[in-house]
Amino acid sequence: MPFPPTRAAALEQLENFVPLAAKYASTRNFDLGTGHHTGVSQLSPYLRTRLITEEEATRAVLGKHSPRAAEKFLQEIAWRTYWKGWLEMRPAVWSHYTSTLADLEKQRKLPDYQNAITGNTGIACFDHWANELTSTCYLHNHARMWFASIWIFTLKLPWQLGADFFLTHLIDADPASNTLSWRWVAGLHTRGKHYLSRASNIEKFTHGRFNPSGQLNESATPLTEQTDFEKQPLHLPQNPKPSGRTGHLIFPEDLSPPPESIGNITATAAFIPPSLNTTPLVENFLSGAVHDTLHHTHGTLLTGTFESALNDWISAEKLDSIIISKPTVGIARDFLESENLPIQPQPFIRDWDRELWPKATAGFFKLKKALPKIHSSLTYPRHEDLFPHI
């Protein structure tokens, strides 16, 4: 498996990448082909599940480089946080996407859609990326941008079906980063500003492996939509301070330990909510990552019906309260909200999210501006403390 689903593998990947973080600005845009994505970190499956957190990755990089030298990489790390914060304030963007997807079900039978997802469009680069995605579960960021743009503007397929194709196959599938990046490419995030794939740009940044000259619509106009998604206030309650016997409930979207300020945890359990749609490769990664976490915490995997498994765990551990990392807008939160639970889990919010989500009110700039202050407030662990014996 290219991404072993363990914290040890995540730390090893981070340790290997840290020396390259200062070069990242000049290497990151080149897609060097399947198995050769050495100009980027490939940390996303680990950051997505929080086998390592954005804060940990930031601290590791700042332990070796100045904020200025690694500026580009540190900003990219924060894009994940930005998309999450932005979607937290506009949950209707997600629910509108999932309901539109249901309405598009019939289009999945159409030849154009089938050709796109099976890599049979005749556009060599696009077909290559469709196959790379389905066989490896990963695509380089630039390939994701080109692919989404060709899907929307050249093949003229609905962006929601493309986003769903990514969400099904990406090992780092993330409702916020994925939905909002597709909307950004389409010109719906920053209204009127879309991302157009150009053959010359693809040729340059694939080192000439592809040149779809004459095959792309390079003059398309941005998509538009009728719906106006109003911004809602961000609800960030204080972290719980539970007394008595406390259980930590884990979903695969945050596998890191809770903040120490929460106090003693009596027991840990994890549940893997059913996804909208996913593949065995992605399922194996998520399940492996959850098992690795449970191994380190001596926790229990809740299987079968969530409500009854949770009840059994509460009784077995004699729990008075349950804490959970605040489920963010997307699959896990939809699932939790649909359940009728015996004890309502109390959400906690990590300092990183608490500090940065409120900055995601509009474009990325406001959050980017807040980064230097955050970087200067972090302490940088010694290399041997962060990477003890991997």
Ligand X SMILES: Cc1cc2nc3c(=O)[nH]c(=O)nc-3n(C[C@H](O)[C@H](O)[C@H](O)COP(=O)(O)OP(=O)(O)OC[C@H]3O[C@@H](n4cnc5c(N)ncnc54)[C@H](O)[C@@H]3O)c2cc1C
Q: List contacts with ligand X (CB under 6 A).
A: 28, 40-44, 47-48, 76-77, 79-80, 83, 141, 144-145, 148, 166, 170, 172-174, 177-178, 181-182, 185
CA–CA distance, 292 with 253 (Å, rounded to integer): 14
Nearest distance in Å: CB 185, ligand X: 6
Which residues, 6 or more positions from 36, have their beta carbon under 8 angstroms from its beta carbon? none
CA–CA distance, 309 with 303 (Å, rounded to integer): 6
* Helix ranges (DSSP H) in the chain: 7-17, 24-27, 44-48, 54-62, 71-88, 91-103, 111-117, 124-136, 141-149, 159-169, 175-186, 199-205, 280-297, 306-317, 331-337, 351-356, 365-377, 383-386
Nearest distance in Å: CB 345, ligand X: 25
CB closer to ligand X, 55 vs 268:
55
Nearest distance in Å: CB 65, ligand X: 14
CB closer to ligand X, 25 vs 301:
25
CB closer to ligand X, 141 vs 321:
141
CB closer to ligand X, 78 vs 323:
78
As a whole number of angstroms, the longest Cα–Cα distance in the chain is 67
> What are the structure tokens assigned to 271, written together?
């549940």
**Residue for token digits 């007394």?**
243
CB closer to ligand X, 28 vs 194:
28
Nearest distance in Å: CB 168, ligand X: 10
Nearest distance in Å: CB 99, ligand X: 20
CB closer to ligand X, 182 vs 357:
182
Which residues, 6 or more positions from 112, have their beta carbon under 8 angstroms from its beta carbon? 155, 156, 157
* Contact (Cβ atoms closer than 8 angstroms) between residue 263 and residue 252: no
Nearest distance in Å: CB 314, ligand X: 33
